[in-house]
Structure 1
Amino acid sequence: MATTQSTDAGFPYSLTISLPLPTNRLASSALRALEVDAELSPLVRRDFALKSPKSAEDQLDSDESKTILETTYRATTNRMLRVAVNGFMESLGVVLGVMEELDVDVLEEECKE
């Protein structure tokens, strides 16, 4: 996670959360599940992106190499940033828990180990 002062004058506080996942399919699924819920406050903005790990950036940037879910929050105050990120972390916990319990590929990987 990285916290920075944003260049956007109206939203000076920002936080970027990078979550590495095992596959592009899981990262894409997490993104689609999380982006459904819009931010409730107009004082907070959130952006999602799928990124490749640094080691894969030199290679062809295919969709399959994009396994990192990057979420960037921008807010008008530190407090609004904290409240929004806390809510996001709760939602993220639910999404990851469902993936762990129900995803067929994850279950197959556990059986192999």
Structure 2
Amino acid sequence: MAATQPQSTEFPYSLTISLPLPSHRLASSALRALEVDAELSPLVRRDFALKCADTQDEAADGDEGKTVLETTYMATTNRMLRVAVNGFMESLGVVLGVMEELDVDVLEEESKA
């Protein structure tokens, strides 16, 4: 997680969370699952992006190299930022738990061990 400098006078508080995942498919699935729930407060904005773990490999790998889910929150107050990020972390925990329990690739890896 990285706090960023204020970029907007309307939303001066921001935080970027970078979550590396094992594959592009899992990162993309997490993004799609999390972006369904819109932010409830007009005082908070959230953006998602898929990034490469190594920025030097971004052009060479294409979409398959994008395994990092980057979530940027912007809010009008630090309290609103904290509340939004706490809710996001709860949702993220559910998504990752489901992936761990139900993902086909994860099950295949466990059966090999």
Bin the TM-score by the shorter chain: over 0.9
Contiguous gaps of at least 5 residues in structure 1: none
Q: How does 1:1-113 map to 2 (within 5 A)?
A: 1-54=1-54, 57=57, 60-113=60-113
Q: Structure 1: how far apart are the matches of 2:111 and 2:98?
A: 18
On the 8 A contact 1:18/1:69 being kept in 2, the answer is: yes
Which portions of structure 1, spanning 4 or more consecutive aligned residues, are displaced by more than 3 angstroms?
none
Give the SS at the match of 1:38. Answer: coil
State how many pairs are aligned: 113
Q: TM-score of the superposition, structure 1-length normalised?
A: 0.94
Structure 2 CA distance for partners of 1:80 and 1:20, relative to 1, 3 Å: same
Q: Structure 2: how far apart are the matches of 1:18 and 1:112?
A: 30
Q: Deviations over 1:18-77 (max 9, x none)?
A: 000000000000000000000000000000000001265265141000000000000000
Contiguous gaps of at least 5 residues in structure 2: none
- Identity %, equivalent residues: 80
Q: CA RMSD in A?
A: 1.4
Q: Structure 1: how far apart are the matches of 2:56 and 2:112?
A: 25
Q: TM-score of the superposition, structure 2-length normalised?
A: 0.94
Q: Structure 1: how far apart are the matches of 2:110 and 2:3?
A: 34
* Residue type at the aligned position of 2:68: I
